[in-house]
Structure 1
Amino acid sequence: MTKSALVFDPFSDEYFINPFGIYQRLRDEAPVYYNEQYDFYALSRHEDVAAAFKDFSTYSSANGVTLEEIKSGTHAMAQSIIWMDPPDHRRMRSLVNKVFTPRAIEAQRSVVRERIDHYLSQVDPSSFDAVADFSALFPVEVIATMLGVPVADRQNIRLWLNTALERGPGRSTLSKAGREAMTQTGLLYYNLIQQRRADPEGDMISALIHAEVDRDDGTRTRLDDIEIAGFCTLLGGAGAETVTKLVGTAMVLFDRHRDQWEHLRADRTKIPAAIDEVLRFEGPVQYDMRTTRKEVVLHGITIPQGSAVMLLAASANRDERAFPHADDFDINRDRTQAQNLGFGYGIHSCLGAALARLESAEALDRLLDFIPDYAVDRAGLHRVSMTSVAGYSNVPIRRR
């Protein structure tokens, strides 16, 4: 049988439904792939993706981290850390690390547990949706609590983000509804910043208002409203999406690999390893975009200076060149085989990775008690169609 021509379209139905077969072909047939329709290059092998994440002097974030941002020349919100290269990034990252500390994260454990128990108490354990009724709801409330968002607005952050990320098949740009959702998000944080400037509280927005950062001209100043709003949008968005998709996907994967679920039931110390394996096998974040600052020659292909390059972390995490038996879902996998890129790598590794791990671990631990034996209604599974993010919006499950 003649193999069809290799086409990689990250805005196609085929891709949204299951990208991993396409990733396999990219790694084997076109490790440097050029998409003429959208004018971008894609790197798919682990060695290349990991190296590009670390090489910020060649693969820059300054022009944007989505294809739309790079092509339009505009960012959704100026001055966010994700659109910075060193030295600006280093200064801002150091600042955020001071308010997003391990102690601050650990202090949220009681909030995480309370929110998890609250939402599980609202469902019928014999049959419920693991995403729509559970994992979509509690993570955004945790990060929103840390930021200082009022209770009435917390779920709006999630809903606005879903609208902004949504991409119908064939659509690579933000919809009108998506633009309106981003505007609503920005207004929410702007108003909160004004309130905290007038009346500080013990939340992250108040801490960012009083923090100082070294500037290029040698001065040391406080952050302005746009910079703080950028941090809030980034942290709120990541906090709303990552764990939602990770927990939902985990329940699907464990249903398909019952022996792995039984390993967890027998030994809950394996939960952190299980989270790592879900991130590697089918993590929420599929790719990040970069722009080349200089010409790159890789695998005999020349990537011109100024090109948009898609770093396919999800493909890299399934690269058999890095992970033996990469298509096996195995929570007992040797974690030293290669770098797991599920939370990024290098200077732009995920700020909230530790919080996401804590939330995911608490959720899995609780679900092991709540539904120790379950089955997924696979006919009711519904995958999202989003830019750079994969996972499920619906995972109906029932107790067996």
Structure 2
Amino acid sequence: MAVVDVGRDPVVFDPFSEEFYRDPQGCYPRLRAEAPVYYNATYDFYALSRHADVAAGLKDFATYSSAYGVDLGMVRRGEKVPAKMIISIDPPEHRAMRSLVNKVFTPRAIEALRTMVTDTVTRFLSAVRGDSFDVVQDFSVYFPVDVITQMLGVPEKYRQQVRLWIDESLHREPGQIDMSEAGMQAMAETWLMYYDLIKQRRADPRDDMISALIAAEVEREDGTVDRLKDSEIAGFATLLGGAGAETVTKLVGSAVVTFARHPEQWQQLLDDRGKIGVAIEELLRYDAPVQYNVRRSNHPVTLHGVTIPAGAPVFLLGASANRDPDAWTAPDVFDINRDRTEAQNLGFGYGIHSCLGAALARLESSIALDMLLDFMPRYGVEWDGCRRVSMQNVSGWANVPVRIL
């Protein structure tokens, strides 16, 4: 591990440790203060933790490439990802693909989904019985994946299976870097399901996203215009299904935990539902579902006296940046009324790879939070039953049992 001699134990950032999964924020203050460019000799990667550096890194695709993958296992192999997803390509190829999918996520298009999202959230919350339930396992695991797979055109019988496949592919035991065999099998099953669906939609188009992607034209790097390949559409679907399932699930669970610790701010939402939007932004800053993004350095770069060599995996720690005292006033204080103009909130990323579905995630989260305010205006968390996930990139709660008071 990196050694920083300040008269105490060296600062350690191990994103594959049980300690990190249990408390990801625990190591960030020392990283920012003592090792803003951190080197982990065990896993051979670098990490940037200060807001200024992370925000700049997320925007600087010429220095920090996405083309080698999105996690350490992929990036350190040093090979460009053969199965192209929008998160694993750089400009200029990225621009055409991003502009294509952006059309699906315009503010008008997202607002048109409000009724469908509301109906979906209502359906799953209505299935909750009794005064005690698990907010995550009985509610928030279900509706986000149902929403995004409905948009894609996935038949109902496969929608929750998509979630299980995603969970398997992202799960990591402490010390595990690469995807497990079960995770790879889950990814293969996901792709096969989408391949079959794409073939069906080519023969029989419907009013869904996969049919729209089949019909869309895209301009390639050489200026030619053609249609997306089946593999590219499957890549889009796999990415959107995964991101759409995980982020909102974790955000809702974190919301219930955080507001239980700050009941006076829950009361503010009860008194004024107009604050739900800013509450979601503060939740994204304070306890974002995505802890980091991994990039590969295209050339040597020197920061804070440390040179990151070309070809190195680099962790851009957005969750640390969002608690940086140089960017935010009292960053470790949860405050839905804070001045959000102080710094860029990196909860949904930044730059060309910022979250495609951010507007959809905000819509889903706001509807879910509004319904939970009605469903459990007074509640208590059963803290002994709370469990965190151990996943690649993603942080949050696997279990949040509550009792309605």
TM-score bracket for this pair, using the shorter chain length: over 0.9
Code of the residue aligned with 1:114 in structure 2: it is D
Return the alpha-carbon distance in structure 2 between the equivalents of residues 216 and 346 of structure 1: 20
Return the alpha-carbon distance in structure 2 between the equivalents of residues 163 and 232 of structure 1: 17
> Does the alignment pair 1:359 with 2:367?
no
> Does the alignment pair 1:333 with 2:370?
no
**Deviations 1:217-250 (CA, angstroms, capped at 9, x unpaired):** 2210000001101100111101100000000000
What does 1:275-354 correspond to in 2, within 5 Å?
275-354=280-359
What does 1:379-390 correspond to in 2, within 5 Å?
379-390=384-395
Pairing partner for 1:221 from 210, 226, 229: 226
Return the alpha-carbon distance in structure 2 between the equivalents of residues 387 and 56 of structure 1: 22
Cα 1:77–1:377 shift into 2, 3 Å: farther
Matching residue of 2:279: 274
> Does the alignment pair 1:53 with 2:33?
no
What does 1:252-271 correspond to in 2, within 5 Å?
252-271=257-276
Per the TM alignment, residue 107 of structure 1 is displaced from its structure 2 partner at its CA by 1.9
Matching residue of 1:177: 182
Code of the residue aligned with 2:395 in structure 1: it is A
Matching residue of 1:18: 23
Matching residue of 1:207: 212
Matching residue of 1:129: 134
Code of the residue aligned with 2:120 in structure 1: it is R
Pairing partner for 1:239 from 238, 244, 255: 244
Worse overlay, 125-134 or 242-251: 125-134
Per the TM alignment, residue 51 of structure 1 is displaced from its structure 2 partner at its CA by 0.4
Return the alpha-carbon distance in structure 2 between the equivalents of residues 152 and 24 of structure 1: 45
Code of the residue aligned with 2:367 in structure 1: it is E
Contact 1:165 1:178 in 2 (8 A): yes
Per the TM alignment, residue 6 of structure 1 is displaced from its structure 2 partner at its CA by 1.3
Contact 1:125 1:398 in 2 (8 A): no
Worse overlay, 247-256 or 18-27: 18-27
Return the alpha-carbon distance in structure 2 between the equivalents of residues 222 and 96 of structure 1: 13
Code of the residue aligned with 1:315 in structure 2: it is S
SS of residue in 2 equivalent to 1:188: helix
Return the alpha-carbon distance in structure 1 between the equivalents of residues 194 and 105 of structure 2: 18
Matching residue of 1:41: 46
Contact 2:76 2:312 in 1 (8 A): no
SS of residue in 2 equivalent to 1:63: coil
Pairing partner for 1:161 from 153, 161, 166: 166
SS of residue in 1 equivalent to 2:295: strand
Cα 1:74–1:297 shift into 2, 3 Å: closer
What does 1:6-155 correspond to in 2, within 5 Å?
6-73=11-78, 78-155=83-160
SS of residue in 1 equivalent to 2:186: helix
- Structure 2 gaps of 5+ residues are 1-5
Contact 2:71 2:294 in 1 (8 A): yes
SS of residue in 2 equivalent to 1:155: helix
Return the alpha-carbon distance in structure 2 between the equivalents of residues 398 and 77 of structure 1: 48
Q: Aligned pair count?
A: 400
Per the TM alignment, residue 79 of structure 1 is displaced from its structure 2 partner at its CA by 1.2
Return the alpha-carbon distance in structure 1 between the equivalents of residues 186 and 366 of structure 2: 30
Code of the residue aligned with 1:335 in structure 2: it is R
**Deviations 1:151-188 (CA, angstroms, capped at 9, x unpaired):** 00000111100000000001111001000000010001
Per the TM alignment, residue 19 of structure 1 is displaced from its structure 2 partner at its CA by 1.5
SS of residue in 1 equivalent to 2:76: helix
Contact 1:77 1:230 in 2 (8 A): no
Return the alpha-carbon distance in structure 1 between the equivalents of residues 151 and 132 of structure 2: 32
Return the alpha-carbon distance in structure 2 between the equivalents of residues 153 and 88 of structure 1: 31
Contact 1:10 1:16 in 2 (8 A): yes
Code of the residue aligned with 1:172 in structure 2: it is I
Contact 2:81 2:88 in 1 (8 A): no
Return the alpha-carbon distance in structure 1 between the equivalents of residues 82 and 398 of structure 2: 26
Worse overlay, 59-68 or 239-248: 59-68
Matching residue of 2:3: none
Code of the residue aligned with 1:392 in structure 2: it is W
Matching residue of 1:198: 203
Worse overlay, 328-337 or 112-121: 112-121
Matching residue of 1:248: 253
Per the TM alignment, residue 105 of structure 1 is displaced from its structure 2 partner at its CA by 1.6
**Deviations 1:314-364 (CA, angstroms, capped at 9, x unpaired):** 000010110110000000010101000000000000000000000000000
Cα 1:175–1:354 shift into 2, 3 Å: same
Cα 1:125–1:103 shift into 2, 3 Å: farther
Code of the residue aligned with 2:32 in structure 1: it is R
Worse overlay, 70-79 or 116-125: 70-79
Per the TM alignment, residue 100 of structure 1 is displaced from its structure 2 partner at its CA by 3.0
TM-score by length of 2: 0.97
Return the alpha-carbon distance in structure 2 between the equivalents of residues 297 and 164 of structure 1: 34
**Deviations 1:74-127 (CA, angstroms, capped at 9, x unpaired):** 577611110111111111101111233323222221121112111111112511
Return the alpha-carbon distance in structure 1 between the equivalents of residues 381 and 139 of structure 2: 15
Worse overlay, 76-85 or 385-394: 76-85
Return the alpha-carbon distance in structure 2 between the equivalents of residues 72 and 294 of structure 1: 17
Return the alpha-carbon distance in structure 1 between the equivalents of residues 7 and 203 of structure 2: 68
Per the TM alignment, residue 255 of structure 1 is displaced from its structure 2 partner at its CA by 0.2
Code of the residue aligned with 2:13 in structure 1: it is F
SS of residue in 1 equivalent to 2:398: strand
Contact 1:322 1:338 in 2 (8 A): yes
Q: CA RMSD in A?
A: 1.2
Return the alpha-carbon distance in structure 2 between the equivalents of residues 376 and 39 of structure 1: 40
